[in-house]
Structure 1
Amino acid sequence: MTGAGRGIGLAIVQALVREGYAVVAASRTITGALKELAPDALEMDLGTPEAPEQLVRHALDRHGRIDLLVNNVAGTSTPPGGFLQLDDDAWQHTFTMTLMPTVRTTRAALPSLLEHRGAVVNISSVNARLPQPRLVAQSALKAAVSNLGKALAEEFGGRGLRVNTISPGPVLTDLWTAPGGPGDMFARRAGVPLEDYIDQIPSSIGVSTGQFTRPEEIADLVVFLASGRVANMSGTELVIDGGMLKSV
């Protein structure tokens, strides 16, 4: 499991542990909550070329096999902004932190996953299909993550590997609730404190239900996809966005 330290990742770890999985989790920062859930929590920067292989090797050394890989790493543009605001370094950073950890971790885990007819779940984003100017690099690289999942499902489906993608819309994490984040930006535009505006944000950005997705909802989808209860589901992208995409 990558990107496990907080938010969506931490909720996924919690759900998998509850289902009886022995979770090996990687994060840049090992929080107390993560360490309590997953004793096999490793502090590492998955943007470095060697870290994904180290994570997989640790999992194999500790447990002997890998049945499920959840790729949840994402790096934002530096700085977030439109196309003309991003130089080569910003694009390279987003590429290195958003796509390559998924590529490298999957490549390292693939032999064990194939041997045990396992599953891969990639966490992409609604922005893979609904790009936004402020997130132009992130949107492009999340589209690559979604496409990669379909390519892997096509190449390895005949050998028993199931690969699926979850693409969330806005999820109620500290990305939206912390000062300085996009939620704070929307609140300042509306001229009200963030704590008074947070519940209005989903409707203001086109979420039909008027609600944020909860991290636990993403985690429940991961558990479902990992379970094999619908064993012939592979190459699928499940969107959970409160209706932002609608028929797109």
Structure 2
Amino acid sequence: MSKYLLDLSKEFAGKKAIVTGGSRGIGAATAQRLIDAGAKVVVVARSRHEETPKQAVLVSGDLRTLEGAQKVAKEAIERLGGVDILVNAAGAARVHLPDSMAISDEEWVDSLNINFLSALRVTNALIAELKKSKGAIVNVTSGGRIAYAGAMAHYGAAKAALNNWSEALAKELAPLGVRLNIVSPGPITTPGGDEVRKTITSAMGITNEQFFSVVPLEGRAGKAEDLAEAIAFLVSDRASYVTGDTLFVGGGLGTLAAL
């Protein structure tokens, strides 16, 4: 029987996973997808939300600092006893109208910390364990990392940095059997994304329907579960020969996808 004809409900049985930003949105959906397939999952977030998977172990902390990221990684390893899968989904976007000149120095630093450096720091803190398990990493960037400008230039710059570093690290880890891939979301309905989108559509004087109308695939938004399924594939053995690649999940928008 082909190894691909498997029971996906047991695909991650015995696997240990860490999902940052796992309390809601894409992170929560990913954590639930891994749990449903048998994984033991730690979600990293400041607190639980209604959509946080009940079966997940919560490790709370602030990933905006090196000390916070290292503390979270240490506690997660202690709770799991190792790690096979790391999903860096933590992130936050804020709109500063009317343009990039309205973005303060503090906001630039904060965006780099949460949207780029948090993933770098957590990954570095867990890399020894991932080498042991020959694990898999997925970094969630943004379909708009090339296109963002103006009021969200700081977010786009941080995601571009995350993408560049991810591609470089993937090449370093490949000889060690550790795979790292990127998932780049387009217009996905999540609590954070919806809040940002509301600000954008209000400023543009358009409706949500008009905003999504540019999506080639039926002019509709995606769901967090769409991203979770893509991430599950990339961290699974089904993607055992895939590393250093970017999977765009944006209904056909590709690199021009936005929140």
TM-score, normalisation: structure 2: 0.84
Distance 1:24 1:80, change over 3 A: farther
Find the aligned partners of 2:222 and 2:255 in 1 and give their Cα distance. 15
Task: Check whether the contact 1:13–1:37 (CA below 8 A) recurs between aligned residues.
Answer: no
Asked if residue 202 in structure 1 is aligned to residue 220 in structure 2, the reply is no
The total of aligned residue pairs comes to 238
Find the aligned partners of 1:129 and 1:185 in 2 and give their Cα distance. 18
Could you tell me which residue of structure 2 aligns to residue 186 of structure 1?
201
Task: Check whether the contact 2:29–2:225 (CA below 8 A) recurs between aligned residues.
Answer: yes
Of 122, 130, 135, which aligns to 1:118?
A: 135
Find the aligned partners of 2:98 and 2:77 in 1 and give their Cα distance. 40
Matched ranges for 1:162-177 at <5 A: 162-177=179-194
Task: Check whether the contact 1:81–1:136 (CA below 8 A) recurs between aligned residues.
Answer: no
Output the amino acid matched with 1:242.
G
Of 198, 220, 235, which aligns to 2:229?
A: 220
Output the amino acid matched with 1:68.
I
Could you tell me which residue of structure 2 aligns to residue 194 of structure 1?
none
Find the aligned partners of 1:247 and 1:79 in 2 and give their Cα distance. 20
Could you tell me which residue of structure 2 aligns to residue 46 of structure 1?
63
Q: Secondary structure at the match of 1:207?
A: coil
Asked if residue 232 in structure 1 is aligned to residue 250 in structure 2, the reply is no
Find the aligned partners of 1:172 and 1:78 in 2 and give their Cα distance. 17
Output the amino acid matched with 2:149.
Q
Q: Secondary structure at the match of 1:208?
A: coil
Task: Check whether the contact 2:35–2:41 (CA below 8 A) recurs between aligned residues.
Answer: yes
Of 36, 40, 48, which aligns to 1:18?
A: 36
Task: Check whether the contact 2:116–2:162 (CA below 8 A) recurs between aligned residues.
Answer: yes
Task: Check whether the contact 1:177–1:198 (CA below 8 A) recurs between aligned residues.
Answer: no
Structure 2 residue runs without a partner (length 5+): 1-18
TM-score, normalisation: structure 1: 0.88
Output the amino acid matched with 1:216.
E
* CA deviation profile, 1:118-165 (whole Å, cap 9, x unmatched): 011000001112223221110011011111111111111000010000
Distance 1:80 1:56, change over 3 A: farther
% identical aligned pairs? 28
Matched ranges for 1:63-212 at <5 A: 63-77=80-94, 79=96, 82-178=99-195, 181-183=196-198, 185-186=200-201, 189-190=204-205, 197-203=207-213, 206-209=214-217, 210-212=219-221
